[in-house]
Amino acid sequence: MRQLMQTSNRLRIGLFGIGLDTYWPQFAGLQARLNGYLGKVAAKLKRPGVQVVNLGLVDTPEKALAAGHKFRQADWVTGPR
């Protein structure tokens, strides 16, 4: 049995952007622009006592599945709430 201890009561925010990978070649600069917006949102959320878990752009079903796993893993870094 795995035992985890909570070492922090920090607020953890999960963040990701959405898109469709087939658009990137069709619209020059769109992916970079969306990543830039995502970075701005992450910066606005950042403050003392807050951890932003930013997974970047999720633009395929495979990345969506992986994002779910990564968010669950991030929730267990300091233990369940």
Give the pair of three-digit tokens for residue 18. 């959405």
Rg of the chain, C-alpha, whole Å:
15
Average pLDDT, the chain: 87
> Could you say which DSSP state residue 21 is in?
G
The predicted-structure confidence for 9-32, as pLDDT tens digits, reads as follows 678 999 999 999 999 999 999 999
Please report the pLDDT score of residue 10 as a whole number: 76
Please report the pLDDT score of residue 2 as a whole number: 46
Distance CA 16, CA 66 (A): 12
pTM of the model: 0.77
Please report the pLDDT score of residue 27 as a whole number: 97
For the chain, domain boundaries: 11-75
The predicted-structure confidence for 46-55, as pLDDT tens digits, reads as follows 999 999 999 9
